[in-house]
A and B are shown apart, each in its own frame.
Chain A
Amino acid sequence: ETGVTQTPRHLVMGMTNKKSLKCEQHLGHNAMYWYKQSAKKPLELMFVYNFKEQTENNSVPSRFSPECPNSSHLFLHLHTLQPEDSALYLCASSFGFTQPQHFGDGTRLSIL
C-alpha cells in the first residue's frame, strides 16, 4: 500500500529540457513534501506545502519549481538541470508536520 503515487518512475532528460514530476495522494493529508535522495547523502527536504500553501523552501535552486494546485496533488517542475541533480525524488504526505509521513516510490531522475 503506498497511498502516494509518483509519476513517472524514471526520467532521463537533457540539461536544456523542461519536465515535470507529479505526486498524488488521496489519504486526506494536508501536508505534502518533496525530498531529494542522492547516493551516500542524507535525505534532503526541498519543499513543504500545507493546505496548498508553501511553508518551506530549503534554499533550493530556482531550476526546481514546485506547484501545489490542491491538497491532493503536488508537482515539481524542472528546467535547465545540472548533472548533480540526478537523484531519486521522493514525495510524501502527512496529517501535520510531526505525524508519520507516507512516501511514494519516487522518481529516479537522470540528467545527461
Chain B
Amino acid sequence: AQSVTQPDIHITVSEGASLELRCNYSYGATPYLFWYVQSPGQGLQLLLKYFSGDTLVQGIKGFEAEFKRSQSSFNLRKPSVHWSDAAEYFCAVGADNDMRFGAGTRLTVKP
C-alpha cells in the first residue's frame, strides 16, 4: 500500500515570504496526489490535485505544487504568504482504491 510523509510538523514563515511544504510518498507507480488545507474549526478543503500530465499544478489561493517522480515528492509552494494562510496542510496519496493522508504540517504566519 502507498504511504505519505510530511517531514515538517510545524513551520513558521513571515508574511510576504515564500513557502514550501514538503511531501514524500512511497508507491510503486505514479499515484494520484493531493494537497488539502484545514483552517481552525473547519474540515479539509482541496487545494490542488495531480493525476497526470504537467508536473507543475496550479491550485486555489495562489498555491502550486510540483510532482517530481525521481524524488517521489509533491511539494506545495506559494511565492508570498498571507496571514490568512495560517492553517494545517495535508498531503494525500490515492492509489489502489485507497487514499492515505499525511500527518499534516501546521503553518504559522508571523506579521
Q: Across the interface, which residues of B come within 8 angstroms of A98, CB to CB?
A: 31-32, 94-99
* B12-20, B38-46, B79-87: which lies at the interface: B38-46
Query: Which residues of chain A come closer than 8 Å to B42, judged between CB atoms?
Result: 105-106
How many positions in chain A have a CB within 8 Å of any CB in the partner chain? 21
- Which applies to chain B's interface (DSSP): helix, strand, loop or mixed? strand
Residues of chain B lying within 8 A (CB to CB) of residue A74: none
CB of B59 to closest CB in A, whole Å: 11
Instruction: Indicate if B101 sits at the interface (CB-CB under 8 A).
Output: yes
> Which residues of B sit under 8 angstroms from A96, Cβ to Cβ?
97
Taking a contact as CB atoms under 8 Å apart, the answer to whether A42 and B41 are in contact is no
Chain A residues in contact with chain B, CB under 8 A? Answer: 2, 4, 6, 41-43, 90, 92, 94, 96-106, 108
